[in-house]
Amino acid sequence: MTNQHPIRVRFAPSPTGYLHVGGLRTALYNFLFARKHDGSFILRIEDTDRSRQVEGATENLVATLRWAGLDYDEGPGKGGNFGPYVQSERLELYRRHAKELVDNGSAYLCFCAPEELEAMRKAQMEHNEPVRYDRRCRALSSEEVNSRMAKGAPYVIRLKVPMFGDIAVNDIIRGNVTFQFNVLDDQVLLKSDGFPTYHLANVVDDHHMQITHIIRGEEWLPSVPKHVLIYQALDWEVPQYAHLPLLLNPDRSKLSKRQGDIAVEDYRAKGYLPEALVNYLALLGWSESEDREFYTLSELVEAFSLERVGKAGAIFDVEKLRWMNGQYFRHLPLERRMDACRPYLEAAGYDISDEHRYRKIIEALTPRIQVPVEAPEKAELFFSKHTPAKDVAEQFLYSETGQKVLHFLLDKLRDIEDVTGERFSEILGEAKSSLGVKGKNLFMPVRIALTGEAHGPELPLVAEILGKEECLNRLREEIQA
């Protein structure tokens, strides 16, 4: 039933300045579908709203997609046989087809002013009527239209929606969906500034770019009948539709700002790994039948199918993302873990210029880091010491055994060349046998004296990283005269 043409899908964001995580998921599903079927994945920029231009938005979008590993086959900066891939560079095409629609009786000119429409909507709301254009310009005679145009009156072009009947669309994810024409609005296709609306540009481009499958968010489902009407009016083949379930805030509203980070760039800036974010996003609305949750991008390509995309919206759970990122982080080679954390530690002002020492720090911290941005707080103990909390200090540090342990350690450490983890463990062993102190009573005084904290990485590791002099200094601070 699918057409014979090669599969071509597109991700068509509007350049808002950042890439929404929901947008990334849409892009990902398009990408996976294209790769799975040896098709083409196209990036198209939908910048037909002149009031919402954002400088550098496209470049940012491209960079973010690249970061996520979603390479597109055609699009801005990449070229292709169906360009340009930026809608503001295709205005002539939309105007031509808008005119064609008017000429063949599928659309008409509307001279209503925005204020007039606003008043109309208000009245409709007050009378509890359906809010939509009352089609007053639909009945204008051609003489009337010509004379208004001659006077230079601004106008828009509206779709002439049939008064009766309905239309059924088969959505790959949702099955058959039917819409009645009589509740549809005469949608504006071409604005008075000569720019197309989403509805026109979208249909025109999808046709000319030979898009076979439209995979996009569910918020577009209600506009499908208008789009189909345009395809039919132009005698074009209607592509396959697949409307993805929405990504939601914790309160189940459509994922938006104000309830946490939604820009992919936010997660990137915190050091989230693209592999983790992509893996997590893939599972929001799609899953294989088996209980599997870790996939590389190519494994996703292999496993993906639109048929297994769910219908219900999915809450974007940052906690689970963090967990998944931690999984990926821990499996990274040490060098890459070091690279991932480096910028955050440098920004925090920590001196990590000693590669050898830095390596050991990251080794020690790895199990404690989910996301690289957390590295500084976890690493703090290696660069400065907190004043121990009163209760633990009194229990372990200023107790008799505590002081005994510290003295013992101080003496032993003074005599050795270098503090290695191994040597440090041996010394603790000696303390245990000669002092008769073990367990908590042995380790806690040392830990607290060395780090100021009751919790932290393995002690021998900490001691080795601090080095002999720093260990000595920190011990002395806690030894009471």
Q: Looking only at residues 416 through 455 of this chain, which bind RNA when binding is defined by CB under 7 A?
A: 439-440, 442-444, 447, 454-455
* Neighbouring residues of 12: CB distance < 8 A, sequence distance ≥ 6: 43, 44, 45, 46, 202, 205, 216
Of 122, 257, 311, 440, the catalytic one is 257
| Binders in 39-78 for RNA, by CB under 7 A | 46, 48-49, 52
Closest CA to 110 of 197, 22, 44, 240: 197
257 is a catalytic site residue: yes
Q: Give CA separation, 170 vs 2, 278, 291, in Å.
A: 12, 28, 30
Q: Single out the residue of 105, 130, 152, 349 in contact with RNA (rule: CB under 7 A).
A: 130
Using the rule CB under 7 A, give the single segment among 72-80, 188-196, 406-414, 471-479 that binds RNA: 188-196
> Quick check: 131 binds RNA (CB under 7 A)?
yes
Q: Name the minimum Å distance from CB 41 to RNA.
A: 18
Q: Single out the residue of 36, 78, 95, 132 in contact with RNA (rule: CB under 7 A).
A: 132
N-terminal to C-terminal alpha carbon distance within the chain:
88
Q: Give CA separation, 226 vs 111, 179, 180, 233, 275, in Å.
A: 21, 10, 11, 11, 38
CA dihedral sign of residues 225, 231, 232, 237 = negative
Q: Name the minimum Å distance from CB 169 to RNA.
A: 9
Using the rule CB under 7 A, give the single segment among 24-32, 130-138, 339-347, 379-387 that binds RNA: 130-138
Dist. CA 145–CA 115, nearest whole Å: 20
| Minimum CB distance to RNA smaller for 305 or for 473 | 305
H or E segment to which residue 126 belongs: helix 114-126
| Binders in 299-338 for RNA, by CB under 7 A | 308, 310-315, 317, 319-320, 323, 326-327, 330
Q: Single out the residue of 39, 285, 388, 402 in contact with RNA (rule: CB under 7 A).
A: 285
Q: Are 398 and 444 in contact (CB under 8 A)?
A: no
> Quick check: 395 binds RNA (CB under 7 A)?
no
| Minimum CB distance to RNA smaller for 246 or for 297 | 246
| Minimum CB distance to RNA smaller for 118 or for 351 | 118
* Neighbouring residues of 150: CB distance < 8 A, sequence distance ≥ 6: none
Answer whether the bond into residue 84 is a cis peptide, omega within 30°. Answer: yes
| Binders in 149-178 for RNA, by CB under 7 A | 154, 156, 174-175, 177-178
| Minimum CB distance to RNA smaller for 128 or for 353 | 128
| Minimum CB distance to RNA smaller for 11 or for 31 | 11
* Neighbouring residues of 59: CB distance < 8 A, sequence distance ≥ 6: none
Q: Single out the residue of 287, 395, 399, 420 in contact with RNA (rule: CB under 7 A).
A: 287
Q: Are 341 and 369 in contact (CB under 8 A)?
A: yes
> Quick check: 347 binds RNA (CB under 7 A)?
no
